[in-house]
């Protein structure tokens, strides 16, 4: 087609099913915006490029489609680096396009002149500069393909101001699946895993984000059912098996991983969240979407790389001897039920100041099955990870292993844009809210339905309590107590409430859910309450 480079870039994105671009304005991007306007690409603008990039990642996480952000040259790109890194660690498929100072005058000191590629190369799958209209088409198409191909991740293309010149170029066709599902797995390796399952007495499956990205939740469930295997989920794996499925467990995790004789970890790294892959005497199997993801540091009995849906389909066909694992499942169910019974009082606690668990006791009663819950904070969000149940894929979003605070408003914007008809709940620590507070203006302006809840303990709780435990004192962990974040949201055009009594939480949440647009319930919580955790900096 005959068009300028901005339009060509957008047409390529659209051929990869991208319909939304998150951005913050900059003159280096005007031609790209013109391309978006010409073609009906939705532009959603924010107040900080970190939020634009997190919104692109959140959009990908929620929709399992490519996310896209456009960042202006120089500071726009460097502001996006933390979010790009998070997307890399999460294997989230996003394409980040950027402006760039003109190549014709490179080195003369143009405004915002910076070579971004060496900066983003370590935190992206691919990073390149497009140097002409033809190169824009080729590079943006390659970036989309690389981002979508397992193991997925962020890609980057910057476009110099003087490379947008018109061209007459064909947009490459994206045919069917086009290999984006990953390579067919090795059938012999799968047969070894099936034999381990058949020989095991106490097997456990841990399913993570790549099961979700691979759309493998149905074959995963069929495998779990056929092999009668207990399932735990983490990260974006949450909801791939509904929390109320008879084989879904969460509270029994430490017992399960300690006593298992076989631990199959699928679609998630054997990182600090999984004790780096050391599970007592168990055989450890790592099922990955690509060879690059197989843990190099763990003592693996077996590993398989390739399309996770195909892996589970093959394993489901093998099944397991009838009755082989029932005692084990009953043992875990008893543990699960005992732990859940023990936590019930905290969900109803009437103590003042408010304990964070009580907030979740109230929230759980009000969440729809498909509510999208986003957690951005320390201890307050750790409670959410434990107490909020996920019933559908793509409904619980946290920062992932990179742990970057400040992703919440960007993710919430993406959720609100992608699913205007669903509950979107944004859980924030009072420390975390400071990173992207300005982007509540973007949430209000774009008219998304988001209910934010702040666990306001006046401290960086996840840092203060561990430093106390390690050093006997703490520094730089205090925030001003009782800040009226509810009034900030009112000033920005949303609905705000402050709550300091346990009995008022529920009614405030009801009003917040009933109010269209952005609401924020600012709950003053007990700074003495520390989330019980065994390690902090693993
Ligand atoms: C960008 C970034 N900076 C710092 C940290 C370190 N950090 C992790 S949790 C935390 C405390 C969070 O405090 P808050 O959001 O108030 O939640 P609380 O623990 O008090 O519930 C900090 C500072 C981080 N993970 N990310
Ligand atoms: Mg706090």
| DSSP label of 282 | -
Contact (CB, 8 A) for 400 and 88: no
Closest residue CA from atom 9 of ligand 1: 378
Kindly give the number of the ligand 1 atom that is closest to the alpha carbon of 399: 25
Q: Which two tokens stand for residue 94?
A: 């996003």
Return the DSSP state at 248: B
Pocket flag, ligand 1, residue 399 (CB < 6 Å): no
Residue owning the nearest CA to atom 4 of ligand 1: 405
Q: Is the CB of 531 under 6 A from ligand 1?
A: no
Element (H, E) at 288: strand 283-288
* Spatial separation of the C-alpha atoms in residues 335 and 376, rounded to whole Å: 29
Q: Residue whose CA is closest, atom 16 of ligand 1? A: 431
Atom of ligand 1 nearest to the CA of 457: 20
Cβ pair 246, 340 in contact under 8 A? no
Q: Which residues contact 327 (CB under 8 A, 6 or more apart)?
A: none
> Is the CB of residue 444 less than 8 Å from the CB of residue 515?
no
Which two tokens mark 66? 């490519």
From 345, 441, 347, 354, select the one nearest 386 (Cα to Cα): 347
Partnered with residue 248 across adjacent β-strands are: 231
Environment class of residue 504 by beta-carbon count within 10 Å: exposed (0-12), middle (13-18) or buried (19+)? middle
Ligand 1 atom closest to the Cα of residue 455 is 21
Return the closest-CA partner of residue 67 out of 100, 34, 99, 44.
Answer: 44
Ligand 1 atom nearest residue 381's Cα: 21
Place of tokens 């040259």: 73
* Ligand 1 site, residue 463, Cβ cutoff 6 A: yes
Q: CA-to-CA distance for 291 and 303, rounded, in angstroms?
A: 9
160 CA from centroid of ligand 2 (Å): 42
Is the minimum distance from the CB of 380 to ligand 1 under 6 angstroms? Answer: yes
Evaluate: CB of 457 within 6 angstroms of ligand 1. yes
- pLDDT for residue 535: 62
Quick one: which H or E segment has residue 159? strand 154-160
Taking the CA of residue 433 as reference, the ligand 1 atom at the shortest distance is 15
Report how far apart, in Å, the C-alpha atoms of 45 and of each of 330, 426, 516 are. 51, 19, 20
Q: How far is the CA of 414 from the centre of ligand 2 (A)?
A: 24
Closest by alpha carbon to 508, among 373, 389, 358, 387?
Answer: 358
Cβ(407) to ligand 1 under 6 A? no
Question: Are 152 and 213 within 8 A, CB to CB?
Answer: yes
- Check if the beta carbon of residue 288 is closer than 8 Å to that of residue 305: yes
From the CB of 356, is ligand 1 less than 6 Å away? no
What is the DSSP secondary structure assignment for residue 171, as one 8-state letter?
A: P
Among candidates 137, 292, 96, 100, which has minimal Cα distance to 210? 292
Helix/strand/coil (H/E/C) assignment for every residue in 441-460:
HHHHHCCCCEEEEEEECCEC
**Whole-angstrom Cα distance, residue 349 to residue 361?**
9
In 28-80, alpha helices (H): 30-39, 49-63, 75-79
Residues 6+ apart with CB under 8 A from 408: 374, 375, 376, 377, 426, 427, 428, 432, 433, 436
**Per-residue model confidence (pLDDT) at position 303:** 98
Cα–chain center distance at 374: 9
Per-residue pLDDT tens digits of the chain, which is 538 residues long = 789 999 999 999 999 999 999 999 999 999 999 999 999 999 999 999 999 999 999 999 999 999 999 999 999 999 999 999 999 999 999 999 999 999 999 999 999 999 999 999 999 999 999 999 999 999 999 999 999 999 999 999 999 999 999 888 899 998 767 778 889 999 999 999 999 999 999 999 999 999 999 999 999 999 999 999 999 999 999 999 999 999 999 999 999 999 999 999 999 999 999 999 999 999 999 999 999 999 999 999 999 999 999 999 999 999 888 888 999 999 999 999 999 999 999 999 999 999 999 999 999 999 999 999 999 999 999 999 999 999 999 999 999 999 999 999 999 999 999 999 999 999 999 999 999 999 999 999 999 999 999 999 999 999 999 999 999 999 999 999 999 999 999 999 999 999 999 999 999 999 999 999 999 999 999 999 999 987 655 5
Q: Which of 381, 382, 398, 463 to mutate to test the pocket of ligand 1 (most atoms within 8 A of CB)?
A: 463
Task: Please tell me the residue having the least CA distance from ligand 1 atom 12.
Answer: 378
pLDDT at 181: 85
Q: Is the distance from the beta carbon of residue 400 to the nearest atom of ligand 1 less than 6 Å?
A: no
- Tell me, in angstroms, the distance from the centre of ligand 1 to residue 351's CA: 25
Ligand located closest to 381 CA: 1
Nearest-atom number in ligand 1 for the CA of 404 is: 26
3-state secondary structure string across 376-429: ECCHHHHHHHHHCCCCCCCCEECCCCCCCCCCHHHHHHHHHHHCCCCCEEEEEE
Give 377 Cα–ligand 1 centroid separation in angstroms: 5
| Torsion of Cα atoms, 427 then 431 then 434 then 437, to 10° | 20
Q: Give the integer Cα–Cα distance in Å for 516 and 291.
A: 46
Whether 429 is in the pocket of ligand 1, judged by its Cβ within 6 Å, is: yes
d(CA 109, CA 86): 31
Whether the CB of 454 sits within 6 Å of ligand 1: no
Residue whose token pair is 């103590």: 351
Residues 6+ apart with CB under 8 A from 499: 354, 505, 508, 521, 522, 523, 524
End-to-end CA, the chain = 53
Looking at the CA of residue 432, tell me the nearest atom of ligand 1: 15
Q: How far, in Å, CA of 261 to CA of 405, rounded? A: 36
Report DSSP letters for 317-375, one per residue. HH---TTTTHHHHHHHHHHHHHHHHHHHHHHH---SSBPHHHHHHHHHHH--TT-EEEE
User: Relative to the alpha carbon of 467, which ligand is closest?
Assistant: 1
Strands 167-168 and 94-100: unpaired
What is the pLDDT at residue 533? 83
**Whole-angstrom Cα Rg for the chain:** 24
Look up residue 160 and give its two tokens. 């110099």
Instruction: State the distance from the centre of ligand 1 to the C-alpha of 381, rounded, in angstroms.
Output: 10
Q: How many CB atoms lie within 10 A of CB 421?
A: 6
The dihedrals phi and psi of 139, each to the nearest 5 degrees, come to -70, -40
Tokens of 201: 């007495």
């Amino acid at each position: 087609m005959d068009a300028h480079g901005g339009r060509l870039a957008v047409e390529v994105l659209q051929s990869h099913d991208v319909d939304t671009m998150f951005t913050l304005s900059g003159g280096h991007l005007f031609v790209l915006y013109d391309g978006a306007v010409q073609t009906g690409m939705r532009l959603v603008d924010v107040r900080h490029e970190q939020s634009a990039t997190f919104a692109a990642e959140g959009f990908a996480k929620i929709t399992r489609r490519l996310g896209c952000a456009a960042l202006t040259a120089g500071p726009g790109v460097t502001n996006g680096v933390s979010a790009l890194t998070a997307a890399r660690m999460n294997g989230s498929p996003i394409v980040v396009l950027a402006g760039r100072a003109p190549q014709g005058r490179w080195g003369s000191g143009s405004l915002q002149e910076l070579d971004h590629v060496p900066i983003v190369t370590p935190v992206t799958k691919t990073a390149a500069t497009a140097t002409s209209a033809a190169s824009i088409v080729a590079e943006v198409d390659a970036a989309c393909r690389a981002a979508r191909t397992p193991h997925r991740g962020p890609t980057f293309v910057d476009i110099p101001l003087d490379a947008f010149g018109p061209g007459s170029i064909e947009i490459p066709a994206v045919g069917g699946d086009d290999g984006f599902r990953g390579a067919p797995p090795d059938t012999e390796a799968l047969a070894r895993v099936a034999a381990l399952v058949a020989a095991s007495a106490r097997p456990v499956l841990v399913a993570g984000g790549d099961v979700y990205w691979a759309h493998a939740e149905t074959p995963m469930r069929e495998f779990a059912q056929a092999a009668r295997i207990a399932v735990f989920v983490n990260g974006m794996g949450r909801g791939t098996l509904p929390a109320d499925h008879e084989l879904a467990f969460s509270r029994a995790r430490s017992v399960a991983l300690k006593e298992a004789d076989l631990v199959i970890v699928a679609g998630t790294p054997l990182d600090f969240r999984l004790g780096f892959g050391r599970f007592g005497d168990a055989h450890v199997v790592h099922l990955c979407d690509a060879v690059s993801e197989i843990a190099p540091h763990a003592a693996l009995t077996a590993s398989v790389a390739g399309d996770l849906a195909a892996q589970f389909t093959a394993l489901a066909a093998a099944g397991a001897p009838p009755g082989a694992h029932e005692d084990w499942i009953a043992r875990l169910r008893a543990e699960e039920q005992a732990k859940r019974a023990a936590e019930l009082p905290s969900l109803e606690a009437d103590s003042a100041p408010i304990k964070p668990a009580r907030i979740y006791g109230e929230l759980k009663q009000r969440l729809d099955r498909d509510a999208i819950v986003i957690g951005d904070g320390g201890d307050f969000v750790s409670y959410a990870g434990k107490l909020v149940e996920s019933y559908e894929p793509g409904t619980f979003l946290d920062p992932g292993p990179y742990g970057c605070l400040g992703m919440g408003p960007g993710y919430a914007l993406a959720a609100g844009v992608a699913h205007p008809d669903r509950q979107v709940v944004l859980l924030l620590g009072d420390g975390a809210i400071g990173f992207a507070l300005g982007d509540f203006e973007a949430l209000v302006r774009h008219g998304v339905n988001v209910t934010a809840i702040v666990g306001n303990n006046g401290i960086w709780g996840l840092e203060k309590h561990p430093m106390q435990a390690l050093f006997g004192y703490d520094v730089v962990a205090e925030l001003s107590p009782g800040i009226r974040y509810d009034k900030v949201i009112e000033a920005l055009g949303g609905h705000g409430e402050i709550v300091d009594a346990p009995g008022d939480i529920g009614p405030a949440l009801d009003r917040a859910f009933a109010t269209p647009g952005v609401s924020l319930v600012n709950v003053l919580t007990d700074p003495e309450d520390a989330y019980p955790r065994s390690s902090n900096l693993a």
